[in-house]
Chain A
Amino acid sequence: MNKEELKARLEELQPSPAFEEGAEWTTVIVDPVGWEGFSREMRTTKGLEFDYLFCLTAVDWRSHFNIVYHLTSTVHRHTLVVKVKLDHDQPVIQTVSDIWRTAEFHEREAYDLFGVVFSGHPDLRRLFMTDEWKGWPLRKDYEDPVNMIKL
């Protein structure tokens, strides 16, 4: 499916979605409200069938967080980037680990380094950092006077 067809299909799922232009892959920006249903529909809707989540990450924009999902379909060979904008003070979003199993680790990583809470995640705890670690090291406002030399 080419970009235009993909956009048309997405418009059937989500009324007036916001697309981002100029990137290699079709990029859509969605609201965290209704994310649970939308993510499930992307996985199951005939013709879309995004069955493979190959990257999940978070971006700290200081004013807000973006959770970025890279999805591809091994059936139709099309790829989609979904960005979900989250509040900076209370970043909470519904997990997709029940839809794409791989998200279990990806979401743990995003939680570990950015402090984004994925509600419904079966095992949300530290992944790389030690269990007793305080703070979220990849946040832009992160301070660590012991380990970090500020420039």
Chain B
Amino acid sequence: MDVSPQNISNKPFPGEVHPTAGGGILVTKLDEVINWARSNSLWPLVFGTSCCAIEMMSTAGAKYDWSRFGFEVARATPRQADVIIIAGTIVNKMAPVLKRLYDQMADPKYVIAMGACATSGGPFFYNTYSVVKGADHVIPVDVYVAGCPPRPEALLHALISLQEKIRNAGS
């Protein structure tokens, strides 16, 4: 999905505000407001299985600071998380754990496959007995990020793409 500049520019609130004396009238669609609210407070799950997690933590840190886009509240429980960033290799033994975490997340839930391992198995595609060749064999993925590991900018791009996807979803 393309994130064009007009898409990522902070889209104003989806609706029209008509000021009146002592207040105003708001004309909007409920679906769009809900999508707008969801896209701006995506809470990621604390989940990382290898080196991509280091880049993910860097994205959360002060230098890149994903809080600017509404991701700051990383949750350590799937019950409170909206998005799972698969940051790292998924091995056969981890696959049921990932599935369970995904199942435990409340709807609506989103998945980002970060890096080569989560996308396709990456460097472990050939000649390995233990690695799942892409996390999408286990759970559905919304956004894929290329890289090994991807830079924080790439992850931010993926997160913003996910926001776009949510905002443009069924209205």
Contacts and interface: CB of A to CB of B under 8 A. Distances in A.
A150 B127 contact: yes
Contacts of A142: 129
Interface string A121-151: 0000000000000000100001010011111
B125 interface: yes
Interface string B93-122: 000000000000000000000000000000
B89 to A, nearest CB: 14
B7 interface: no
B92 A148 contact: no
Contacts of A151: 126-127
A135 to B, nearest CB: 9
B120 to A, nearest CB: 11
A136 to B, nearest CB: 10
B127 A137 contact: no
B126 A137 contact: no
Interface in B117-137: 125-130, 133
B125 A149 contact: yes
For chain A, which range describes its interface: under 10, 10 to 19, 20 to 34, or 35 or more residues?
Answer: under 10
Contacts of A144: 129
A150 B125 CA distance: 9
A137 B125 contact: no
A137 B129 contact: yes
Contacts of A148: 127-129
Nearest to A144: B129
Contacts of B125: 149
B122 to A, nearest CB: 13
A55 to B, nearest CB: 21
A147 B130 contact: yes
A147 B125 CA distance: 10
A144 B129 CA distance: 7
B126 A149 contact: yes
A145 to B, nearest CB: 11
A151 B92 CA distance: 20
A57 to B, nearest CB: 17
Nearest to B124: A149
B142 to A, nearest CB: 26
A137 to B, nearest CB: 5
A147 B131 CA distance: 8
A141 B127 CA distance: 11
Contacts of A147: 92, 128-130
Nearest to B121: A149
Interface of A: 137, 142, 144, 147-151
12 contacts: A137-B130, A142-B129, A147-B128, A147-B129, A147-B130, A148-B127, A148-B128, A148-B129, A149-B126, A149-B133, A151-B126, A151-B127
What are the 7 closest A-B residue pairs judged by CB atoms, nearest first?
A151-B126, A137-B129, A144-B129, A147-B129, A148-B129, A149-B126, A151-B127
